[in-house]
Structure 1
């Protein structure tokens, strides 16, 4: 009898936990990969079987009732254990499977990840990788990411970090035509007198301060200009069009510097940073698929 109750209620329990956590039938359905009507039906069937209302609904949100909160606290951890065990078993299969969600800057995706994934993915057809371009700092757990990619200097100390790229530095660039009408900057503070192309970060919506270093002296300059983007590639394009001075990864600008279209300045103020790192929470044991991805991305000088 108890086996029948569990079998008939399991789908409803999964749907209920998803709705309670997402506070929305729509988001819960998207998370579960089901239709909203299917999720709603499963929850109603569970409420009918238990003879109790589990969710309080209004026009703006959904929240557990007192009984629903008790059920959520007791059932959710057990469902997580089942999910973790199923993932572990899946990782033991000969053909690794699973979806890995990674947040990374647009430059990291194009300069490092794209080429490595081109070789990695055909070897493991059961692995899916979702890349989300984001230049800000992201809470991996809250946003349900498996890993992130950022420069080594800004990875939190409580994360496990694996280096996946060489040292990197930025370059201050503009066209010859721009500098023909504006004096060359001799020091970072001189950029305050130039029309600079800003990069807006999604974290708190602030503008990125250009970071410089020389002889142990660090200097952050908040530049001004007519253009602001949220993509470093758009910043480079603006500089290429003669619309101002941009501060971009050197590897992006180097082909145009070599052809003479762009001019690089303040090179002695542009430090090297420790390159891109893949990072993930130290308390989380990587899945089989994640372990394979880490090995494929690991930087070998």
Structure 2
């Protein structure tokens, strides 16, 4: 059928207002132009769509049938245009972010607060996952940006930008308070119950490599799926564990946990922003990325 969308859009407004002049005003067109478009549409569809009268126009049975289908289609398209315009002006839209626990609490949340204050109409959806899952979600197109920590095994299509460094500290619950004023080497920890993230996580790989560099094997007594479980488990005196200093600080200051001093240094780690270079960013995601760097 050769009729184009513009004809159907004009048909929609004339049928909606039952008045050619009013439809022309809404369309910012002229009455003759609207009349001509309706005539062209009737010619192409080979049927009469409107009955003209002094009071305006009314739909023929054929026009009623067509309007039942055209109305919802036009309204969806017009709604889409409206939402797109709103998103482009950052008055709407959604940005999808993947974030690890450390990336979320040590970096992202404060920046999201500023972003939300500046663009309150933009919806924010956060997927809180491990680094491997955050990378997988980014590659699958489920998120536009990911905030992760090093080390990270990323694909060649992903761009990684380091935005903040952090250090881990070794901490324990109050039941281990006798260790507070002592210093330890990594080799001394084999006699203590170690809490760590499960194999397959980047944090586990980081500490496995750290222990190997000192000729040691990392053996954890309790394995956790996600890093948000570390502090609660440590606070309940189930063992010792490595936690980002920024996350441990409140509990250290309140006395809920203690820091165990290590003679062996723990290498610095970084929080990174990842994006897929093969996928375009939404306007909201581009603006957020600017604020994160």
State the TM-score, normalized to the length of structure 2. 0.60
Partner of 2:124: 129
Contact 2:96–2:124 (CA<8 Å) still a contact in 1? Answer: yes
Which one of the candidate residues 170, 195, 200 is aligned to 2:168? Answer: 170
Q: CA deviation at 1:283?
A: 2.1
Q: What is the rounded CA distance, in whole Å, between the counterparts of 1:189 and 1:170 in structure 2?
A: 18
Q: For 2:167, what is the secondary structure of its paired residue?
A: strand
CA RMSD of aligned residues (A): 3.8
Cα distance change, pair 223–143 in 1 and its aligned pair in 2 (3 A):
farther
Q: For 2:88, what is the secondary structure of its paired residue?
A: coil
Partner deviation per Cα, 1:230-282 (whole Å, 9 max, x = no partner) = 23232112222322111111112234445654022325321112x21111111
Contact 2:152–2:202 (CA<8 Å) still a contact in 1? Answer: no
Q: What is the rounded CA distance, in whole Å, between the counterparts of 2:202 and 2:286 in structure 1?
A: 35
1:111-122 alignment to 2 at 5 Å? 111-122=106-117
Partner of 1:159: 158
Structure with more helix by fraction = 2
Cα distance change, pair 271–91 in 1 and its aligned pair in 2 (3 A):
farther
Q: What 5-or-longer segments of structure 1 have no aligned partner?
A: 9-85
Indicate whether 1:270 and 2:266 are aligned.
yes
Partner deviation per Cα, 1:92-146 (whole Å, 9 max, x = no partner) = 8333532221111122212221111112113223321111111141322325221
1:31-180 alignment to 2 at 5 Å? 90=85, 93-95=88-90, 97-138=92-133, 139=136, 140-142=138-140, 144-154=142-152, 156=154, 157-164=156-163, 166-175=164-173, 177-178=175-176, 180=178
Contact 1:185–1:266 (CA<8 Å) still a contact in 2? Answer: yes
- The number of equivalent residue pairs is 213
- Farther-moved stretch of structure 1 (188-197 vs 99-108): 188-197
Q: For 1:137, what is the secondary structure of its paired residue?
A: helix
Contact 1:96–1:288 (CA<8 Å) still a contact in 2? Answer: no
Q: For 1:271, what is the secondary structure of its paired residue?
A: coil
- Farther-moved stretch of structure 1 (259-268 vs 138-147): 259-268
Cα distance change, pair 124–254 in 1 and its aligned pair in 2 (3 A):
closer
Which one of the candidate residues 253, 266, 270 is aligned to 2:248? Answer: 253
Contact 1:96–1:289 (CA<8 Å) still a contact in 2? Answer: no
Q: What 5-or-longer segments of structure 2 have no aligned partner?
A: 9-80
Q: For 2:248, what is the secondary structure of its paired residue?
A: helix
Partner of 1:71: none
Q: What is the rounded CA distance, in whole Å, between the counterparts of 1:117 and 1:206 in structure 2?
A: 25
Partner of 2:224: 229
Cα distance change, pair 283–194 in 1 and its aligned pair in 2 (3 A):
same
Contact 1:188–1:221 (CA<8 Å) still a contact in 2? Answer: no
Cα distance change, pair 221–99 in 1 and its aligned pair in 2 (3 A):
farther
Partner of 1:193: 191
Contact 1:196–1:246 (CA<8 Å) still a contact in 2? Answer: yes
- Higher-Rg structure is 2
Q: CA deviation at 1:222?
A: 2.6
State the TM-score, normalized to the length of structure 1. 0.58
Cα distance change, pair 110–183 in 1 and its aligned pair in 2 (3 A):
closer
